[in-house]
Amino acid sequence: MPHDNPLIALLVVGLGLAFILGTIANRLRTSLLVGYLMAGVVVGPFTPGFAADQALALQLAEVGVILLMFGVGLHFSVKDLMAVRAIAIPGAILQMAASILLGEGLGWLMGLSAGGGLVLGCALSIASTVVLMRGLQERRLVDSDAGRIAIGWLVIQDLVTVLILVLLPIIGPILGHSGAAHMGLRAILLMVGETLAKVAAFVLVMLLIGRRLIPALLHFIAHTGSRELFRLAVLAVALGVAFFAAELFGVSFALGAFVAGMVLSESQLSLRAAEETLPLRDAFAVLFFISVGMLFDPRVIVHEPLKLLGVLLVVLIGTPGVAFLLLRLFKRSWATSLTIAFGLAQIGEFSFILAGLGIGLGLVDHDVRDLILGAAILSIIINPLLFYLLKRYRPWIERRDGILPAAAVEPDAPVVMSRTELTQHAVLIGYGRVGRRVADGLRADGWPLLVIEAGEGTARGLEDSDVAVMTGNAANPAVLAAANIAGAKLVVVAIPDIFEAGQIVDQARTANPDVRIIARAHFDAEVPHLTRLGANLVVMGEEEIARSMLAQTEALTVRA
């Protein structure tokens, strides 16, 4: 009975539908997010049939935000944050101010009060952390220049939002036509001061105490040797710090979790901690998108198309336009500026919270919230398209930046990439712990070598050598085409992920029936899987380790 077990019903129906619609979205070659959002619309209260518990969905989504931001923090050090402050602080504040003004203007056109316009403007000025971070992670941009600025920008937006949430109940009624109790400037400044002081106190506590205590705790647990306890400890720290940050210091969950992660990022354990939270993070991120879909009332598209379009234009053109101009003013390249601007061209969780607050204060009614939700869901769906355009027109953008594409561009490729001129070469996929060693060997043997590596910066060590490098996901057909697999002699797939490795082997075999393909595996079942897809040789890491170990013991036995 769904109504007796609302949590189980939500998880089963929501995740089940997200899986089915996500698969369909994948088949249709659109973003998985579209599938998840649609699953939310289906289990939401505005469509017939089963309606899941909305309040529960929102809380679960919040857990997703916490884990996501904790993971982001783990990859981000205080130093990284300081390095981008000169651009992130003024950039985010000016962009938010401009977006709020645009929202006020739109609100005026729609006949809202000044207070109502302020709610609308604030809601439209803040990007969704989850959507932006997922976008960066999917494109492996987290460690890039654009990624670091975008994360710094997000942190500032988040801080300003905390301030807005505190100040809206005071400023809103003053702007509203109700002429409600005026509050003196002094009192407003006091509130701002108090909020900022609380945020500062939280950061200070984390830097002075958390920075020592949390890594020490995890080290202690790591030494117990129990993986289960370690996993639990990481979760307890991430959720615990986020919760107490919110309860004691009035900081958002997201910011609390981010700082918890950042404090840990200086410790050796951070990588392990990140891995432990990955599966949970992904599952909860899906729940986040389901919860957004649930809030959406599709009727708004029919009832208020013009207003919806106006709101959408602010999100899709206004905010990114302003961000782009500001970034160019800060002398960032076209490519970096466009990446960040497009990343900000969407709204999500904070906007819903603001809309809810606006309704509570009587500044806006439900129509405005529906518009904000409509714009959120549509902008989240459109966002991947913007990134697609960015890829499609990359050569044009790079020309603006003065970077000339190395060679002619494959005309029909869905993703434009400079095509290599190498033939009879070796293509090495993945330049990590395994790939690096393979690359050294192949170079020593005199192979003409092309490396495909997904992580920006990972292959940086190769830049000055004679080895050609392509940055991108090798599972993408356009990347493989640009590597001229059809003309290659050897393909070495040195990545650990079996799904991506399978896709790569399959595509490489189709493109070139004669090429020798050597692939990497970690489990017994992966060997026949990759062989079936066309690998000539699959090297099972664990087997090779065991073999080498045994070789050592044999030497001892002979001597004994």
For ligand AMP, the binding residues (CB under 6 A) are 429-435, 452-455, 458, 473-475, 494-497, 500
Minimum CB separation from ligand AMP for residue 277, in Å?
19
User: Which residue is at the shortest CB distance from ligand AMP?
Assistant: 432
**Of the candidates 347, 262, 364, which has an alpha carbon nearest to the alpha carbon of residue 313?**
347
Give the nearer residue to ligand AMP in terms of CB position, either 90 or 477.
477
Minimum CB separation from ligand AMP for residue 536, in Å?
20
Give the nearer residue to ligand AMP in terms of CB position, either 271 or 313.
271
HSE-up of residue 348 (Cα within 13 Å, Cβ side): 32
Go through 52-89 and write b for each residue having 16 or more CB atoms within 10 A of its CB, e for each that does not: bbbebbbebbbbbbbbbbbbbbbbbeeebbeebeebbe
Minimum CB separation from ligand AMP for residue 477, in Å?
12
Give the nearer residue to ligand AMP in terms of CB position, either 300 or 495.
495
Minimum CB separation from ligand AMP for residue 271, in Å?
11
Minimum CB separation from ligand AMP for residue 529, in Å?
16
Give the nearer residue to ligand AMP in terms of CB position, either 432 or 477.
432
Go through 445-470 and write b for each residue having 16 or more CB atoms within 10 A of its CB, e for each that does not: eebbbbbbbbbbebbeebeeeebbbb
Cβ neighbourhood burial of 204 (10 Å; 0-12, 13-18, 19+): exposed
Give the nearer residue to ligand AMP in terms of CB position, either 182 or 433.
433
CA distance 314 to 291: 23
Minimum CB separation from ligand AMP for residue 417, in Å?
13
Tokens of 262: 């950042």
Q: How many CB atoms lie within 10 A of CB 181?
A: 8
Contacts (Cβ under 8 Å, ≥6 apart) of 111? none
**8 A C-beta contact, residue 400 and residue 334:** yes
Minimum CB separation from ligand AMP for residue 475, in Å?
5
The alpha carbon of 513 is separated from its chain's Cα centroid by a whole number of angstroms, namely 37
Give the nearer residue to ligand AMP in terms of CB position, either 110 or 511.
511
Contacts (Cβ under 8 Å, ≥6 apart) of 225? none
CA distance 357 to 348: 15
The alpha carbon of 229 is separated from its chain's Cα centroid by a whole number of angstroms, namely 27
Tokens of 324: 């782009």
CA distance 37 to 47: 13
Tokens of 237: 């720290």
CA-CA-CA-CA torsion sign (31, 32, 35, 36)? negative
Give the nearer residue to ligand AMP in terms of CB position, either 249 or 431.
431
Give the nearer residue to ligand AMP in terms of CB position, either 132 or 495.
495
Give the nearer residue to ligand AMP in terms of CB position, either 292 or 479.
479
DSSP state, residue 403: P
HSE-up of residue 48 (Cα within 13 Å, Cβ side): 0
Minimum CB separation from ligand AMP for residue 476, in Å?
8
Tokens of 243: 């919760």
CA-CA-CA-CA torsion sign (505, 508, 513, 519)? negative
Give the nearer residue to ligand AMP in terms of CB position, either 116 or 430.
430
Minimum CB separation from ligand AMP for residue 429, in Å?
5
Instruction: Assign 3-class secondary structure to 227-271.
Output: HHHHHHHHHHHHHHHHHHHHHHHCCCHHHHHHHHHHHHCCCCCHH
Minimum CB separation from ligand AMP for residue 342, in Å?
22
Give the nearer residue to ligand AMP in terms of CB position, either 105 or 432.
432
Give the nearer residue to ligand AMP in terms of CB position, either 212 or 433.
433
Minimum CB separation from ligand AMP for residue 25, in Å?
20
Tokens of 354: 């603001």
Give the nearer residue to ligand AMP in terms of CB position, either 138 or 497.
497
Give the nearer residue to ligand AMP in terms of CB position, either 104 or 453.
453
Minimum CB separation from ligand AMP for residue 121, in Å?
40
CA distance 519 to 504: 10
**8 A C-beta contact, residue 215 and residue 241:** no
Minimum CB separation from ligand AMP for residue 434, in Å?
4
Minimum CB separation from ligand AMP for residue 392, in Å?
20
CA distance 427 to 480: 9
β-bridge partners, 418: 409
